[in-house]
Structure 1
Amino acid sequence: MIENKYYQWYVNIIQNAISQQRVKKINTYEKHHIIPDSLGGLNNKDNLVLLTFKEHFVCHHLLTKFTVNRDRSKMIFAFWSMSNKWGRKNTTYRITSNVYARLKEEVATLISKNNTGKSHPVTDETRKLISESKLGNKNPMHGKAAPNRGIMRPGVGGRKKGTAWSESERVSRLIQRSQPGYYDYLKNPQRGKKISESTKGRLGAADGKQWVNNGLVETYAYTCPPGYILGRLPRLQTNKQGMKWYNNGTVNRQFKDNLVEQGFIRGRISKKQ
């Protein structure tokens, strides 16, 4: 403890409050430990004083100014706690932005210092317990289909549909994928076997579905909706219109009448033996 000006201000506020012989009133005074209980102060009449809300707040602020080392750390955390709940209890005083900012920085520094060098490793036993707690019926998603099953993502990487890759993204991805060994995992035979084993006996997303159309659009469904008929919409191959089969005695090819290559004659060669 340092007996500086802040200590003297603290003493003056306490002595002034004691001299007034205050009586506890709701929404007027709060009890304050003259020597904080976290610093060894007793919870008795001689160590308690009634302070106004503002005096109480200021005293806790002053305590951070004349305490040192571990005692100061305790006072900073106590003042931080009071600062965060102050607005919920009282409206007669507000902490300033500068005070809050300085206090926030000191609290963050203390937390960082207290945690430096500490580690909280997860043991294999703990990992096993966590895993077992999510198995089978204990998992809330057990036996349920994924909520996004059958729903197409809006775009590449979840982007809004129509969003293009930026040039920097393209370069970044190209560099990443061009690194030696990037695709080696695809060559692992165990990977293919594992995927195969995991899908055996499982119903596919298309099992039981069939194509239906209403003359304008087509879709994949288990049952034919009203206004739809079975089958897909016809594919109009405009690039094939007007083309006929020709052959040169070895292969069959399609040409338009005015674009037949030399050596080809009308008709197809049957490949049936």
Structure 2
Amino acid sequence: MYTQFNKSKQTLQYVHSIRKARRQNRRKGDGTYYERHHIIPKCMGGSDAKSNLVLLTADEHFRAHWLLPDMVDDKNQKYKMLCALNRMTHSNSAQKRVGTVQLYAVARRKRSEAMIGRKLTDENRAKLIAANTGRKATAETRAKMSVTRTGKKRSDETKAKISAANRGRKITAETRAKMSESQKGKKHTAETIAKMSETQKGKKPTAETRAKMSESQKGKKHTAETRAKISAARKGKKCFNL
């Protein structure tokens, strides 16, 4: 039954754990929390047959998936085992997770390392997009994502891809309001201002854009600081009457 796995010590530990659980003739509802585990993972051809299922405690289940990546030699299979292990680091209302923060951190790092140099197929990308469509991240999740991205710089290739993906997209009024709110009180660095200025050189706004800009400025009053900056920027410039 275990011929799909290599002959490592991890495989021996895994087999021992599965056999021990089976000898105990476990049943859900006997007062102990159990989770169903596929002995031979489904991605390796394992079925939902009773002979391929075993009840493990939350801790045993996590440790079983901790062992599985080292029980296979094929890189693709190893990656799948690491993805499953990464999913085991998340608790929910139906599943409890037991384990140390260190184990969780290592699990996530291993999966991250396995993804280096790996390119998603068009099919995989389509599946990811479909799975995330309509999902809204919680405030906590957004805060974590923001922290992980702080200080990171995108490559020119990544920027070009993002730019291409956003061409032709129309931002809703709600999204624009959120973007505006998130920028309130923020000040651009001198470097950012210089970059923004450089990207706008030679660009002429359309009549529609000018109209929108004019509409958005109606009723707004410049602060003394802003007026001083505008005045300083215009010094030395010559105006021509057409």
TM-score (norm 1): 0.46
Check conservation: 1:33, 1:47, Cα contact below 8 A. Answer: yes
Check conservation: 2:59, 2:99, Cα contact below 8 A. Answer: no
1:113 aligns with 2:117: yes
CA distance in 2 between counterparts of 1:96 and 1:64 reads 19
Q: Secondary structure at the match of 1:110?
A: helix
Identity %: 23
**Comparing both structures, which one devotes a greater share of its residues to strand?**
1
Check conservation: 2:66, 2:107, Cα contact below 8 A. Answer: no
2:90 to 79, 84, 99: 84
The 5 A counterparts of 1:122-161 are 127-128=167-168, 130-131=169-170, 134=171, 139-140=172-173, 158=187
The 5 A counterparts of 1:185-264 are 185=201, 191=204, 198=210, 205=218
Displacement of 1:85: 2.1
Q: Secondary structure at the match of 1:94?
A: coil
Task: Extract structure 1 runs of 4+ deviating beyond 6 A.
Answer: 116-120, 122-126
TM-score (norm 2): 0.51
Aligned residues: CA RMSD: 4.8
**Comparing both structures, which one devotes a greater share of its residues to helix?**
2
Task: Return closer, same or farther for 1:95/1:64 CA change in 2, 3 Å cut-off.
Answer: farther
| Higher radius of gyration, 1 or 2 | 1
Q: Which protein has greater RCO, CA pairs closer than 8 Å, 6+ apart?
A: 2
CA distance in 2 between counterparts of 1:117 and 1:39 reads 20
Check conservation: 1:33, 1:48, Cα contact below 8 A. Answer: yes
CA distance in 1 between counterparts of 2:219 and 2:66 reads 68
The one-letter code of the counterpart of 1:95 is T
2:11 to 7, 12, 35: 7
Displacement of 1:19: 1.6
CA distance in 2 between counterparts of 1:60 and 1:8 reads 14
1:47 aligns with 2:52: yes
Task: Return closer, same or farther for 1:125/1:85 CA change in 2, 3 Å cut-off.
Answer: closer
CA distance in 2 between counterparts of 1:30 and 1:124 reads 45
Task: Return closer, same or farther for 1:103/1:205 CA change in 2, 3 Å cut-off.
Answer: same
